[in-house]
């Protein structure tokens, strides 16, 4: 039985493919869904060229974009009578997901895998894979194929 399910989303349709399974689990167990959008820190080589008063608006734009991304997903799940919380955090993606899973004491981390293989996986890695190896929390992973 799950009480809290953490759902990290990266802004892609493929990542959202986990939502059907999460919805079913949450309805069956009356679990709380925590939608998480992690914002990568702006690379220092980029921010070094900015004046200090230009850095905050850039971060704010990224946070606003994250809210705008999560809001319709949140609304859709709440319309289905599910308990949903949104979290937006800035930091290294894998570390932030694992830390929030601990902070929230979630019973499950649910993610879609982008199903990368070969060179793509070697160069881009797999956040899902890294989270799987970095956490002691149970995980539900759905392989999301190309559209």
Is the Cβ–Cβ distance between 7 and 101 less than 8 Å? no
Where are the domains positioned within the chain? Answer: 4-143
- Residue for token pair 């759902």: 7
Which phi and psi angles does 51 have, rounded to 5°?
A: -75, 155
Mean pLDDT over residues 62-79, rounded?
Answer: 95
pLDDT band at 16 (very low <50, low <70, confident <90, very high): very high
- What's the pLDDT at 70? 97
Report whether pLDDT(121) > 70.
no
- Per CATH, the number for 4-143 is 3.40.50.620
Q: What is the DSSP string of 29-72?
A: HTPEEEEEEEEPPPPHHHHTTS-HHHHHHHHHHHHHHHHHHHHH
- What's the pLDDT at 41? 80
In this structure, is the dihedral angle defined by the CA atoms of residues 146, 67, 97 and 100, taken in order, positive or negative? Answer: negative
The answer, as to whether pTM is greater than 0.85, is yes
């Amino acid at each position: 039985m799950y009480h809290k399910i953490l759902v990290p989303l990266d802004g892609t349709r493929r990542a959202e493919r986990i939502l059907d399974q999460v919805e079913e689990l949450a309805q069956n167990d009356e679990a709380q869904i925590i939608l998480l959008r992690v914002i990568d820190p702006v690379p220092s080589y980029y921010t070094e060229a900015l004046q200090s008063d230009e850095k905050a608006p850039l971060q704010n734009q990224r946070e606003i974009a994250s809210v705008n991304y999560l809001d319709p997903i949140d609304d859709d799940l709440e319309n289905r009578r599910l308990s949903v919380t949104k979290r937006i955090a800035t930091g290294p993606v894998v570390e932030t997901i694992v830390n929030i899973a601990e902070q929230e004491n979630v019973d499950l981390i649910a993610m879609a895998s982008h199903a990368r293989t070969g060179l793509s996986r070697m160069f881009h890695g797999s956040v899902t894979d890294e989270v799987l190896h970095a956490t002691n929390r149970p995980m539900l992973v759905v392989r999301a194929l190309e559209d």
